[in-house]
Each structure stands twice: as C-alpha cells, then as structure tokens.
Structure 1
C-alpha cells in the first residue's frame, strides 16, 4: 500500500536531569547573560540587584530561585524544605543580609491567612463552634482576637519572610527572552530533549534593545497587558483611559534605536487593536475609529472601512478601500476587492464584482471504512493509482524552512534574544525579506540544486529534524515524500508558492491543501478535501485562486459517504 500520510522520524531521545541544582544553573545563566549584553542599560537598582546576587552563597542563591518560582510574596520558613540546600537557616540569613528577602515588621491577617491550614487557625480559637465553619469564615473570628496576628504567629515560633526585588528579576527575564511568555522552564524542556533549537548568534552587537527608554516601555506594556485580561468588563471611559497609558514610541532616524522601538511598537499596537475592537462592541464607533487610525497592523484598515461604511461615510470608506488594493497583505487586497462594490453601490455608482478564477471541483464518493477521517479516506482512495500523502500545511512550510534556513537564522541585529527562539523576532513582519536578501538568494540557488540532487535535500532534512522552526517544533516530512516532491514539482511552481509565502508569512502559512497526490503516470496534484457540509475557508480560497491563476494543478474534492 503506498503511503497515505507523511511519517515523522523517531523523536529525539529524552534524558533525565541529573543535577538537583539545575534550576540554579539556569537562573545564573540568565542573570549573567543579561549583564554581559545590557549592563550599560541597567538601572542603578538593577545593577545593585546583580551585585547583591553575586555576594550570595550557592545555598542562598538556590533558595532565592525557589522563592521566585513559588506563590508568594510571603513564606513560612518552617515550610521551606529543599534537600539540595544544605544549610537553609544560613541561606535565609544571607538573603536577609542582602535584602533580597525581608522580615516584615507588620503582618496583615489577610496576607498570612492562606499560609496556615484551617486546623492551625482553629487552635487559636476557643470553643467548638468554629470547627463547623469553612476556613474562609474564620477570618472575622481571628480579627476579633485581643492579640494582633503578628504576635500570635511569633508565639507559635513561626518566622515569616517576604520576597524582595523580584521586579528586578522580571526585568532580567524580559531582557533575556524579550517577551513575557517564556521563563526558566525553557531550559528544562530543552535539557530533557523535548525541544531542540538552532544555534545562532547572540552577540552583544545584535541585541534587541539599545536604549533604556525601550526597556521601560516594554515593561509598561506587560503591566498593561495583564489589566486587559478582563477587557470585556471595562466601560468606554475605562478603555479610553487605558489607551492614554499605552507608551508612545517615536523612532529616530538612527537604525539601531529603531530596532528595539519596532518590537515595542508592534506589541503596543496589538493592545490598541484589542481596545479598538472592544470599543466597536460597545458601539463607540468614533472612538474605535480614532484608535484604529493610530495602528499600522492588520486588521486596522479593514475595521476602519467597515466603521466608515456603518457611519454612512461612504466616500471616505471608498478612498481607504482603494488604497488597500496596493497593500502588501493579500488578505487586505481580498477584502478590498470584495467590499469595493458594496461602497460603489452605496454611492449610487455601477459596481461589478470581478469573478475569481474557476476552481477544479470534483465529487468523491467514498465508503466509510477503517478511517472516519475524511482526508485520510480520500488519500486512501487516491493511493490506488499513485502515492498520496496527507500533508495539509506541513510539506510546503517544512520545505520553505529547509530552503531558507540560512535566512531564517541569519545574524541580523535585533533578531534573536535567547537560545530558545523558533525564529527571529521579525519573522512575520514586512521587512523580514528585505533584511535578508542575500540569504534568500542563496536559498533559491539551493532549491535549484536540490532538484538536480534530491539526496542532498534528504541529508539536510535529516540534519535539521528535531530543530524547532517558526512553523513547527522540529517535524520533518518523511524522506520518500520529500524526494517525490522535489522531483515531481517543477522549480517554477516551488518559486511561485514560496513567493506568496514571503509576501505575508503570517497570513499565508495556513490554508494550503490537505493532500498531495503523485499519480503513477507522473506529475503531481494538490487536493483540498471537504466533507459533507464543510465549506472552504477564506485563507483556503486565496490559495486555491492563486494556484488557478498560476496553473498549479489543484482540485477541491467534495466527499460524499456511500
């Protein structure tokens, strides 16, 4: 039976972490790497934080890391038990001496209440009535005790400590990862063999941030992002107030200063787009329009056109819609083509909607057999007269990464912050290709060479298997699929597909056909499979129309179960 799905090679072997202090080594790596790259941009307080860490014993550093990763900020020293820390009492004393933890002079009952069990609190309350109460109901009774809670805790022989300077470590993590998403667990996943990453340059000269102002604005961005988790509950006035708190980014003509600003600006714009969208839901149209006009990213233009149309400002909507015809985004171009006739009609002008290229559509009557999956069932049907693989987006995206590997991981200033990136920070931005023109040219030549020497492609794919890329976490298609694809698909068709990907990597990474079919008679065909009641999505239609326009063999198979 010919293969009907692209098989993945054996997973990378996983190992057990042998060092109980692995977390300390990871912490020290983050602190040291950030200091080496950003010492000139650290505040006086952050530099002092770094120096105080260096004065700690190994035990004290290990305990501090443990506290950073636990829910705090208050801790009972009697509950801190770590076998790898030989002298915990001395470690606490060292942390207090360096003011990395403090012993609070005043203790609030509500802050300390979660640290003790219900039974421990009941020992302080007279009578049996409290036994029947839920733990939360004990708070008023404890507040009515004649002695303050701090005195009671001290009488019990308990010592409480409070984490200090953790905000400085958060800044170090931001500078190391350049985002608020990754943390020290990345080291563990890599060391366990869960993920592998490419080796790329992390030289000081290519660091992301070049001015302290950029760091402060990124920190402000993440503080505001946490507030937006409950955006739906905010009023119009609260949303507008939040918008005024978003940091302003002014990029100078100096390229190095713009580097960090660009990263911050993109993230701030995403927050502003979320605020504008919520204002739309509140029907605050003018406010939403004002916020969208401050954004360059998608779908800013589309939302503006829709709002202007809703407000009957059809002439302004038409002007903006016509500008979108020249957008680098195919999604915006498609929207403009579809919405343009509606605006002309609203203005009383004749409107003709251009017909898209005709699609090759077929009906496929299948018997529901071993596989209820409609794509696999279609692939098995086609495999009778050739090789058919269920690939969806994986084949072309994997090939794209192999062809342009050098471009993706090129030594471009501001592209990489740490060793746990699947790709550069600007991978999905408009200037990705322009920043790497020479590397892309090398990739085109490599593609042409692989068509003449497919075994070289297989060798590179085996070398790169398991290494994470922007599109997947280390997956590579089966060698037999790669060899068939590189020999059956013409060089020009590869170029046509990759050219569209490069125009908008974020938008065009999805929507590719489900199957690739290699008939015994030669050639190939892409097949998008749709089960009963299923419809083509917008991103799929864009790919299918593109294939039809460029004579790339593709069909839509509508499956009917017999």
Structure 2
C-alpha cells in the first residue's frame, strides 16, 4: 500500500484510482485479458507498477534505459524485470530507420551509420531522406548500434488505451488529466456520478468506437476514401454518440470524393450521412452532376424540415439556381433586414489586429468597448444556466474530468433538461438573473465550462453587461444558442460598446480590407436585426502611409 504522504508516486495513485473506477463501473464489459491485466498489475511490486505507468504517460513505445531515471522507482532494470516476464515490455523490438532516428542523437547516428560521415553539415531530417532507401529493413537496436544502450518497448499500450477509453469515454484525454487537475491548471465541476452512469453500454460500443477511430485515422493519414470505406464496412450503431461519429466520418469521406470530382459517390455518401451539412452537400453534388430534378426535390424536402439554420441558408441560396435550370418559378424569399454599417479609415497599427484597432479608436471612458466575439453571450448563458448544464443526468457525466456534458451537441440536449432550463431562464422574467449570474461567477470562477470564458469575462465586463443588456435580448440570444449549440456558439459580432450612463449598448462586426461576412455571421446579424438589437458592421480601410 502507498502511504498517503508519498506524493512522489502521485501518478501511480491516480492510475490505480482509474482502474478501480473502471472495474467498479465496467466489470461486465471487461474482456478476460483486461481483467487479468488489472489483477496482475495490482499484484506487482510498487516499483514495477510505477515504471509501467511512467512509460504509459510518456511518448513511446520505445524507451532507452539510459534516459529513464526516477528517484522514487530506483533501479530501472529491477523495476522492468516483472514487466518483461509478462511481456508487457520487450527488450528486443525491431526498429525501422525512422524509429532509430527518433531515438538516437546525431553523434550516435554518425557512429552507427557510416554513410552519414559525408553528411555532417546536414540535419537529421536530410540524413533520413537520403538513407531511407538504403535501410528498408528493421532490426533490433543491438544490431543497429551494438552495445549502445538497453531498449525497452511497451506492448501493453493498446490494452491500456482501452481502459483509458472506458474511463474517459474518449481517447482525446489521457492520464495527465489527473496531474493537471491536482496542480490546479484545470478545475472541473464536481458532478455527482452514479455507478450506473457510463459512456459505453456494451462491449460492441467499445469495439465500434475503436473501429471508427481507426478508420478516421486512416482517412487523416491520406488513405483513399474507397479504402477507408472498405475498412469501415457495413457499420451501424444504436449509440447516438457513435452514430454521430459515423455520420461525421461519412461526411468527411464524401467531401474528399467531391473534391476529387467523384460526385456520384460523394452524393451517395452524403445521402447515408446524418451529419448537419450532408443534405446541402448532397444537393450541391447532384446539381454539379446535372441531376437538377432530384436536387430540387431534395432541397424542397429539406427546407420543409431543416436540420439547422445553416442548412436553410445554404439551400435557399441553391434553390433559385435549380428553379432556373428546371424552368420553374423562383421561390419568393423575404428580404433580409439590412444591418447598419459604417466605415473607418485608420492608420494600420504594426502589431494590432483590425478588431483591436477599431476598439482602440472607438473606446471612450464613458463608452467602453470590449473585444468579446463569441465569448460574452455564451458566458452569460453559462453563468445563468450552470445548474442545468451540469445536471447529473444519465449518460451526461461518467468521469470526473469532463468540462461539460457528453451530450452537449446531441439533438435532445435541450429536451432532456427542459424543466431545468426553463427554471434558469425564468429568472430573466422575474429579474433575479443578475443575482444568479453574480453568484455563479463568485462560486464557480475558474471551473471549466463549455460556455464560460473566464479569461475574457472580467468583473468589469460582467457588471457592465448586466447593467446595459436588456433581459429580453439575453433571453433571445440564449434561446437561439439552445436551438443549435454547436452552430450558434460562433458568428457573433466582434466588439461590444456600452454606454453605462444610458444603460444601452451596440455590437460591432469588424471587417478589414477585402474581408467579407461569413455565413454564420450573416445569420447572427439577421437574428439581431429581427429582434431590434443594436448591431452594426464596421468596414475598415487603411490610410495610405506617405
């Protein structure tokens, strides 16, 4: 047993905590080999356990013994012996030339590769490119460079990655999360997590996640879309999280095929994908193929029940072209409300962005300007609705290192929390919202949130915003956020200017020379205009320097 005062083995304590968590929640999903690893690991001497965890936390899988030195572990050879006996480590791994170059210094490469002697002035990357064809074979380090060093190579990483996946519910997070939390670099909300709350419901969910990840990595490595699809096979899942990942992969493969001009194949993949942009891309692919009738029918059907505002915007832009091709009457569109605009001619500052240049120009003591972009409205929403966002609903939180609920972008995020969200938003009606936001700011400051940007939301900005922003405008913004959290957290105006003495404000979208409004910005500007919110577009041109 570790002494509670033995802080030098904190990482081992954390790993054991994770294993206990996995065993307590996923015992029914563990394979025999995974359970055997946990049992054998916990029976190892402390120094062997510590070494394995140290290696799992480092970039591997190959480690030179001379580079391993840990006071709390002691002799590395002694600690490695039980791991070698179990084949969790091996000491005779065969290395490719790439792996050799990653392990050895330049002088060591000079000693074992005679061809490098004539390339002393070049760097290692140039050496590697020059020698790649001369050394296609793999061989142990002892054969590359006899007597140079002892090499240890991890073989247990895939199994430990599966345990990490069970704990975190993803492979983007790693064991360093414990350390970052203990150091106070990251702080997480303390959500009550029941033993029944877990990210995976079956062994198939785990295998499906790993399969999708493997296919995504093949795609990102540049493998041809047809090869990735062959590896993917006939995939399906009733797990919403995995279904969403599958839909995104199909969409990405469709985009690759579309860029390659393989429009029919791309359209087919878009049709199979539930990704938010898939239907509009399918319509565009059909349009490029000249199948205007099918494209028109799909666009009209989609507009009857759009997945989101972005889809509506894209399809409304395409539909007139399709009608023209088919000889149909162009659909009538309500004219967009114009957004007021103004121009500024400024001297281009050497180090400031165009947004900061405008801020500096407009800022006054009695009318301060803040660069907030997407942070202010999201932060105010996060403060008001904190309890609803971090509600311990089944499947929302299943480990203590979550910055937000796992279902944040799920279609039913709002429905699952409707009563909780209604209770939070009702404070905008009874006037208690400011008090609630201040209280949340004070008690939760620094805790990670998917909405609150603590580095931007200073006490000054918070108080000024609460003074100048009407509750009706806050409710409208918050409702729009909840309509589509993923899409609507972006596109908000860059700057906000307050007149505290008059309790009013204006938002300003800044565009530098040659810059144009993006689609998500146009949607936000249209929304603000529809709700009579003061927003303007500032077009900047740089004055000529004589």
Q: Which range, TM-score by smaller chain? A: 0.7 to 0.9
Which residue does 1:14 correspond to in 2? none
| TM-score, structure 1 normalization | 0.83
Which residue does 1:462 correspond to in 2? 442
**Aligned residue runs from structure 1 range 105-504, under 5 A:** 113=100, 132=118, 156=147, 160-231=151-222, 234=223, 238-246=224-232, 248=234, 250=236, 258=238, 261-325=239-303, 326-351=305-330, 352-364=332-344, 372-379=352-359, 380-381=361-362, 383=364, 386-449=367-430, 451-452=431-432, 454-471=434-451, 474-475=454-455, 477-504=457-484
CA shift at 1:296, angstroms? Answer: 0.6
Q: Which stretch shows the higher mean deviation, 390-399 or 375-384?
A: 375-384
The RMSD of aligned alpha carbons is 3.4
Equivalent residues of 1:527, 1:557 under 8 A apart: yes
Alignment partner of 1:548 is 2:529: yes
- Secondary structure of the structure 2 residue equivalent to 1:85: coil
User: For residues 436 and 121 of structure 1, do their structure 2 counterparts lie closer, same or farther at Cα, with a shift above 3 Å needed?
Assistant: closer
CA distance in 1 between counterparts of 2:74 and 2:296 reads 72
CA distance in 2 between counterparts of 1:340 and 1:538 reads 17
Which residue does 1:35 correspond to in 2? 23
Q: Taking CA–CA contacts closer than 8 Å with sequence separation of 6 or more, which of the two structures ends up with the larger relative contact order?
A: 1
Equivalent residues of 2:369, 2:498 under 8 A apart: yes
User: For residues 339 and 118 of structure 1, do their structure 2 counterparts lie closer, same or farther at Cα, with a shift above 3 Å needed?
Assistant: closer
User: For residues 140 and 529 of structure 1, do their structure 2 counterparts lie closer, same or farther at Cα, with a shift above 3 Å needed?
Assistant: closer
User: For residues 95 and 491 of structure 1, do their structure 2 counterparts lie closer, same or farther at Cα, with a shift above 3 Å needed?
Assistant: same
Which of 508, 517, 525 in structure 2 is aligned with 1:527? 508
Equivalent residues of 2:356, 2:371 under 8 A apart: yes
CA distance in 2 between counterparts of 1:265 and 1:206 reads 19
CA distance in 2 between counterparts of 1:521 and 1:76 reads 68
The one-character-per-residue Cα deviations of 1:136-162 (angstroms, maximum 9, x if unpaired) are 799999999xxx979879984965544
CA shift at 1:193, angstroms? Answer: 2.3
CA distance in 1 between counterparts of 2:493 and 2:215 reads 40
Equivalent residues of 1:359, 1:548 under 8 A apart: yes
User: For residues 369 and 266 of structure 1, do their structure 2 counterparts lie closer, same or farther at Cα, with a shift above 3 Å needed?
Assistant: closer
Q: Which stretch shows the higher mean deviation, 90-99 or 374-383?
A: 374-383
CA shift at 1:307, angstroms? Answer: 0.8
CA shift at 1:502, angstroms? Answer: 0.8
Which residue does 1:57 correspond to in 2? 45
CA shift at 1:364, angstroms? Answer: 4.2
User: For residues 355 and 62 of structure 1, do their structure 2 counterparts lie closer, same or farther at Cα, with a shift above 3 Å needed?
Assistant: same
**Aligned residue runs from structure 1 range 5-20, under 5 A:** 19-20=7-8
Equivalent residues of 2:506, 2:534 under 8 A apart: yes
The one-character-per-residue Cα deviations of 1:284-310 (angstroms, maximum 9, x if unpaired) are 111111111111112100110001111
The one-character-per-residue Cα deviations of 1:341-362 (angstroms, maximum 9, x if unpaired) are 1111111122255421122223
CA shift at 1:488, angstroms? Answer: 3.0
Equivalent residues of 1:249, 1:265 under 8 A apart: no
Number of residue pairs the alignment of both structures matches: 526
User: For residues 391 and 166 of structure 1, do their structure 2 counterparts lie closer, same or farther at Cα, with a shift above 3 Å needed?
Assistant: closer
CA shift at 1:53, angstroms? Answer: 0.7
Equivalent residues of 1:341, 1:353 under 8 A apart: no
Which of 74, 77, 90 in structure 2 is aligned with 1:89? 77
Alignment partner of 1:67 is 2:58: no
CA distance in 2 between counterparts of 1:535 and 1:143 reads 51
CA distance in 2 between counterparts of 1:377 and 1:101 reads 57
CA distance in 2 between counterparts of 1:209 and 1:492 reads 41
CA distance in 1 between counterparts of 2:349 and 2:99 reads 61
Please, which runs of 5 or more residues in structure 1 have no aligned partner? 1-16, 252-257
Which residue does 1:10 correspond to in 2? none
Equivalent residues of 1:180, 1:222 under 8 A apart: no
CA distance in 2 between counterparts of 1:273 and 1:285 reads 13
CA distance in 2 between counterparts of 1:366 and 1:80 reads 57
User: For residues 63 and 473 of structure 1, do their structure 2 counterparts lie closer, same or farther at Cα, with a shift above 3 Å needed?
Assistant: farther
User: For residues 193 and 289 of structure 1, do their structure 2 counterparts lie closer, same or farther at Cα, with a shift above 3 Å needed?
Assistant: same
CA distance in 2 between counterparts of 1:469 and 1:494 reads 19
Equivalent residues of 2:264, 2:289 under 8 A apart: no
